[in-house]
Amino acid sequence: MEIFNSDGLRIALGLISALVLFLYAIDNLSKELQELAVDKFRTRIAKIVKNTYLGTLFGAVSSAVIQSSSAVTMVTVILVNTGIMSFRNSLGIIFGSNVGTTVTSQLALIDSTLLASILIILGFVLGVSGRKAKLLSKPIFFLGFILFSLSLLSSAIEPIKTNPYLIEFFSQLSNPIIAYVISALVTSVIHSSSITSGIIVILAKANLIPIGVSIPMILGANLGSSITTLATSLNLNLHAKRVGFANFFFNLFGSLLFMLFLAPFTYVVKIFSYDIAGQTALAHFLFNVLNTVIFLTLLKPFEKFIVKIVKGNEEEILFRTKYLKKNGKGKIKAKERIKDIKKEITYSIENTIKIYQLAISTFYNPSDLNKMNIHKLETLNDYLDDEITQAILYLSKLRLGPKNAYSTVTLIKVSNTIEQIGDLGLDFSKVFNRMHELGIPYREVDIERLTDIHNRLIDLFRDIERNILNTNGKNLANIKMKEEEIYNMVKEDFDTHVDRLQKQDDYDGNIFVDAISIIELSVSKVRDIRKLLQKQLLANKR
């Protein structure tokens, strides 16, 4: 067929395939590097970003390596949503992430064919080498792939840069505002300003667009990269939403400011570079650096602006200990350290109570946000248990008296048991999620009876919480009585369930039974804690 002999079709296929390779390489490099960072990434990043300037540097380096500010900001939104990082600490990463993406536009300036070949071969060789070397093989391979695809894309554009139809198309972008908007929309679709900016530099290098178009397109690409993050954050908690809006307004205000001063900015860029491609890449770099500096200077008012725009009173639950400092290390007496550990355990119980309260509310509100908050609190409890365990282990290395030594053993068991109760709370919520998934009617569950038992369990949690700080024999006896009351209620409901199964053909009741079974297991865990506290009390009297 003659169509396959057409030079135009051959060139078009070459251009499209080069673009596809570029998109594929960027996406895979991003994924590979994110996987390398999974294990210790969360805890380390939380420490780094406490300093805004270090957070900005981290954001710049991360996006330079991953080659996607969208990926970095998306991870940041998730970390804030899960409580690893606070909204305030996220701002530095947001500001710095755009600076790192300027690397792609700089790479597009160079003839990287030789370097690309070396990296691709090196990545392949490492892939068939030892296990440790294999970890780096794919990132190196895909970095070479990016350079190769950029070179291929540049070569594909070369034969068509004099095409009258193409020239006519790009002449329609002579209006800076149209160029800005189109670039923002395209970037929002492909989710990467790195990709857009790299293509813009290549187009400028082929003299297909003038500097008056390329700079607005660079500015629009920065705005477009924030739209996806904003859309994703809308389904997350309040503080994650604020990160999404902060990223959007950071790019919106910055790009509009430079659009307002486009003429003098273009004049400055032309002083330092003589060709359009170089000027475009330099403009990309200068814009992101200057915009970051401006917003770092205005950090506090910008934070207040975002809080005012995205209103809400939702508590920001962070993966941090509330009372333990540096795992209890430092010049503190053993008695004071034990007191802090007990306070941290009570904080864990407070989180456990929130898990159960959210779980029972899932009966009426099975929203994704509700599920997310339950998982977040349960994971926070796991984290607190680890921190409490580490603090107790450190304390056990000191020279302790018999009472304090026995107390450390009790506290570590109590903390582990509370963590297990939190897991049961998560299971409790899953019962109601299953009810909604199966379409079981509300009337099939005696929610009033279940709420009554649930509230008694919460009351039991609070009694245990008070006795961890000040253990009292009389109070422990009252807790035992409350345990028995709940056990009796659960037994009655089990008997009623069996009776209805025998008499009513249309009765199911499994959801209700599953729910009270989990409550029964939770009471058993409380009983274990109560017995541990009783033993501790007896040991202290000896």
**Residue ranges of the domains in the chain?**
2-309, 326-541
Residue whose tokens read 């400028």: 204
Fold classification of 326-541 (topology level) = Methane Monooxygenase Hydroxylase; Chain G, domain 1 (1.20.58)
In angstroms, the CA 138 to CA 158 distance is: 30
350's tokens: 């407070």
pLDDT value for 3: 42
* Per-residue model confidence as pLDDT tens digits over 98-141: 787 776 555 555 555 666 777 778 878 887 776 666 666 776 77
**Least confident interval from 147-161, 292-306, 317-331, 483-497:** 147-161
- According to the per-residue pLDDT averaged within each range, which of 192-201, 319-328, 388-397 is highest? 388-397
DSSP 8-state assignment for residue 51: S
In angstroms, the CA 149 to CA 344 distance is: 54
Identify whether the C-beta of residue 62 lies closer than 8 Å to the C-beta of residue 72.
yes
CA distances to 287, 335, 393 from 399, rounded to whole Å, are 59, 12, 12
In angstroms, the CA 53 to CA 121 distance is: 37
Burial of 213 (0-12, 13-18, 19+ CB in 10 A): buried
Residue 338: is its pLDDT beyond 70?
yes
pTM for the full predicted model: 0.67
Average pLDDT, integer, range 12-21: 71
pLDDT value for 522: 95
* Per-residue model confidence as pLDDT tens digits over 356-376: 999 999 999 888 778 878 888
Burial of 516 (0-12, 13-18, 19+ CB in 10 A): buried
DSSP 8-state assignment for residue 328: G
pLDDT value for 482: 93
Identify whether the C-beta of residue 194 lies closer than 8 Å to the C-beta of residue 218.
no
Of residues 54, 68, 77, 47, the one with CA closest to residue 310: 77
In angstroms, the CA 74 to CA 271 distance is: 36
pLDDT value for 4: 45
Q: Return mean pLDDT, the chain.
A: 80
Confidence of residue 328 (pLDDT cuts 50, 70, 90): very low
Helix (H, G, I), strand (E, B) or coil at 429: helix
Residue 213: is its pLDDT beyond 50?
yes
CA distances to 68, 90, 491 from 199, rounded to whole Å, are 14, 29, 69
Of residues 426, 447, 532, the one with CA closest to residue 493: 447
Residue 315: is its pLDDT beyond 90?
no
pLDDT value for 461: 95
* Per-residue model confidence as pLDDT tens digits over 56-80: 888 888 777 655 666 677 777 777 8
Identify whether the C-beta of residue 276 lies closer than 8 Å to the C-beta of residue 283.
no
Where is pLDDT greater, at 215 or 12?
A: 215
pLDDT value for 405: 73
Rg (CA), the chain: 30
pLDDT value for 61: 80
- According to the per-residue pLDDT averaged within each range, which of 267-271, 301-305, 368-372, 380-384 is highest? 301-305
pLDDT value for 159: 59
398's tokens: 């000191």
In angstroms, the CA 115 to CA 125 distance is: 15
pLDDT value for 156: 62
Identify whether the C-beta of residue 388 lies closer than 8 Å to the C-beta of residue 408.
no
**Least confident interval from 39-48, 353-362, 371-380, 432-441:** 39-48
pLDDT value for 15: 65
pLDDT value for 355: 94
Identify whether the C-beta of residue 451 lies closer than 8 Å to the C-beta of residue 360.
yes
Q: Return the exposure string of 266-292: e unless at least 16 CB atoms fall within 10 Å of the residue's CB, then b.
A: beebeeebeebbbbbbbbbbbbbeebb
In angstroms, the CA 178 to CA 183 distance is: 8
In angstroms, the CA 146 to CA 130 distance is: 25
Confidence of residue 25 (pLDDT cuts 50, 70, 90): low
Residue type, 90: S
Of residues 58, 43, 68, the one with CA closest to residue 90: 58
pLDDT value for 165: 56
